[in-house]
Amino acid sequence: MTATLAPVGPPQRPRSGPVRRTVFVLGVGMILAGVGFLLFCAWQYYGTNIIAKQKQADVKQSIASNWDNGIDGKDIGLLRVKRFGSDYEQPIVKGFDDKALASGVGWDPKSALPGEIGNFAIAAHRVTHGEPFAKFPKLKKGDEVVVETRRHIYTYRLRNSGTSITVDFSVGWPLQRVPAPDAAGERPTKSVITMLTCSELFHTRNRNVVIGDLVSDQDKKTGKTTTIG
C-alpha cells in the first residue's frame, strides 16, 4: 500500500503578540521623534537664519527709505562693528523680545537712545535668527562700535573684550542707567553703550557683556564731528 502525503503549505508566521506590537510602535515612534528633532535643529540653525537675514534686509531698506524722506521711523538706526567685518551692518530695532531679535539687533526701550546721557543697551543672537553677534567673542578692548541714526553717527570705544564679562541672564546691572554692579540707582553723567549676547552657542543662561564709552558724535547735516571725553 502506498502512503499518500498531505500537501505541504507555506510556513505559518507566528502571530504578533501585544509585546511585539508595542516594541514595533515604540521603535517607529523613536525614529519619527529623531527625524523630527533633526528637522527642528535644521530649522533653528539654518531656516531661521535665511528668514531673519531677509527680514534684516527689509528693515535696512525701510530705514534707508525713511531717512531719504526725512523721517526717523520706528527703527533706531544701523550698527557697524569693524571687528565683525568691513561690510558688517545690522539694523537696530526697538525691543528685546523674540520678534525684535529676529529682525536685527534689539534695543532695550527702557534704556537711553544713541548719543543720549545714559546707557544705550542692545542685544542680539550669536546663533540662529541671522546671527548678528556671531563674532562677539572676538571683540577687543579699544574696538570701535558705530551707531548711525538719521542725523548723527556716534562712535563708542569698548572698555573690555567680548569674553571678559559673563553674567547670569537674571543679573540686571548691564541694563541699569549706569551699567556697573555697584551703581544701582546712580544718575548717569555720560553716554555709554552696552552690548549683550549668549555666552555659549548651545546654552542660553549666561550672557557676555561689553561696555563702551561715546568718543565722537558726527552731525550728518553739517559734517562736524565733536570729540567726547
Q: Which amino acid is at 174?
A: P
91 beta partners: 78
Q: How many Å apart are CA 93 and CA 106, to the nearest integer?
A: 5
Residue found under cell 541699569: 176
Does 125 participate in catalysis according to the annotation? yes
198 tagged catalytic: yes
CA–CA gap between residue 186 and residue 188 (Å, rounded):
6
Catalytic residue among 125, 129, 152, 203: 125
Choosing from 41, 129, 152, 198, which is the catalytic residue? 198
Rounding to the nearest 10 degrees, give the CA dihedral for residues 217, 219, 223, 227: -20
Half-sphere exposure of residue 6: CA atoms within 13 angstroms, side-chain side: 3
Q: Of 155, 122, 158, which Cα lies nearest the Cα of 140? A: 158
**Residues with Cβ within 8 Å of residue 2, at least 6 apart in sequence:** none
DSSP-assigned beta bridge partners for residue 208: 166, 197
Write the CA distances from 52 to 87, 96, 125, 129, integer angstroms. 18, 15, 11, 5
Catalytic positions: 125, 198
